[in-house]
Amino acid sequence: MHFRPLGKTGLRVGEMAVGTWGLSGDGYGPVDEAEQEKVLERALEMGFSLIDTADAYGAGRMERLIGRVVQNRGEVVVVTKGGTDRTTSPARKRFDRAFLRERVHASLRRLGRDRIDLYLLHNPSDVAVGGNEAIDALLELKSDGKIAHWGVSAGDAQVAQTALRRGAEVIEIAYNLMHASELHRLAGEIMVTGAGVLARSTLAHGLLAGDWGSSKEFGPGDHRTDRWTRADLERRIGQLQSMSFLVYGDKPTLRAAAVRFVLSNNIVSAAVLGPRNVRQLEEIVREVGMGPVYIRDEELMRIPRALEAVGVDS
């Protein structure tokens, strides 16, 4: 595992990280707890050093499991997120001082830690980040020693930019072969501020694994049923053929090329992966291999043109 600096936090993390939304069972359907634990244990065995979670994943169960698995492993960076109030139906976003303080203390109890390595506001609005209450709450918690570093898991470039200008130490944002423009828009701001970047949705919810047929169906509890219409899904699957030139030699699958694309960007601190079982975890690590040349420069230059030709504004 190659390591990269997490911005100016002073932390160095493995360039691939374990994301736990899908693993929690919330995103793609149930996952057995024994399998969840096996995935985390195997990832640590292979050198993963950052685990990304949220207080909302599995209604707090993922934090408890992570706390148990990483117990006495001081080298593991645990990232968690807060800002979702699930005591109401439907759930709502809250970033007021009292709520965030309560959420941080609840996460600390579940993780079994005295301090959270990195705490992110979970998909806030631009207004929430631009105001004073949420940021002031995080700065107070940092001063109190409850969190070491803070940042924002942003839904778009505008929110991320506002967070960076408010002093966010790390941003987490979607970044992949077919959705790269948001991070590219932020590149200058990131270089100026020195913030760390966690790239999520590296496989676009499984699409960039490249192994779906046009008749692909999703099971109960899978958010992709609502995310894509049948026509939209078929169109997206068809567009993947434009990336076939990336699959050869030491990039045996589109999945390998997709993760390598993310790692080719040197402002990315870590690519957040979302394996739901040990087999998926081992396969992706085996296929991605190691740098330093992830994707050749001439191929990187070809990608935008190839996507534009099939109607993708990446």
pLDDT band at 200; cut points 50, 70, 90: very high
Cα–Cα distance measured from residue 40 to residue 273, given in angstroms and rounded to the nearest whole number: 12
Per the prediction, the chain carries an average pLDDT of 95
Find out whether the peptide bond into 292 is cis, omega within 30 degrees of 0.
yes
According to the model, what pLDDT value does residue 145 have? Answer: 98
The DSSP secondary structure of 22-49, one letter per residue, reads HHHTTTBS---HHHHHHHHHHHHHTT--
- Could you give phi then psi for residue 236, rounded to 5 degrees? -65, -40
Domain ranges of the chain: 3-206+256-295
Cα–Cα distance measured from residue 276 to residue 201, given in angstroms and rounded to the nearest whole number: 14
pLDDT digits (tens, 9 = 90+) for 104-154: 999 999 999 999 999 999 999 999 999 999 999 999 999 999 999 999 999
Mark whether 57 is an active-site residue.
Answer: yes
| Catalytic position from the list 28, 57, 119, 294 | 57
pTM, whole model, 2 decimals?
A: 0.96
Domain 3-206+256-295 falls under CATH 3.20.20.70:
no
According to the model, what pLDDT value does residue 146 have? Answer: 98
The mean pLDDT value for 190-218 works out to 95
pLDDT band at 218; cut points 50, 70, 90: very high
According to the model, what pLDDT value does residue 233 have? Answer: 95
pLDDT digits (tens, 9 = 90+) for 48-63: 999 999 999 999 999 9
Q: Which residue has the higher pLDDT, 313 or 101?
A: 101
Structure-token pair, residue 27: 């995103």
Q: Positive or negative, the Cα torsion across 198, 204, 205, 209?
A: negative
According to the model, what pLDDT value does residue 147 have? Answer: 98
Residue whose structure tokens are 């957040």: 272
pLDDT digits (tens, 9 = 90+) for 20-40: 999 999 999 999 999 999 999
According to the model, what pLDDT value does residue 70 have? Answer: 95
Q: Above 90 in pLDDT, residue 87?
A: no
pLDDT band at 291; cut points 50, 70, 90: low
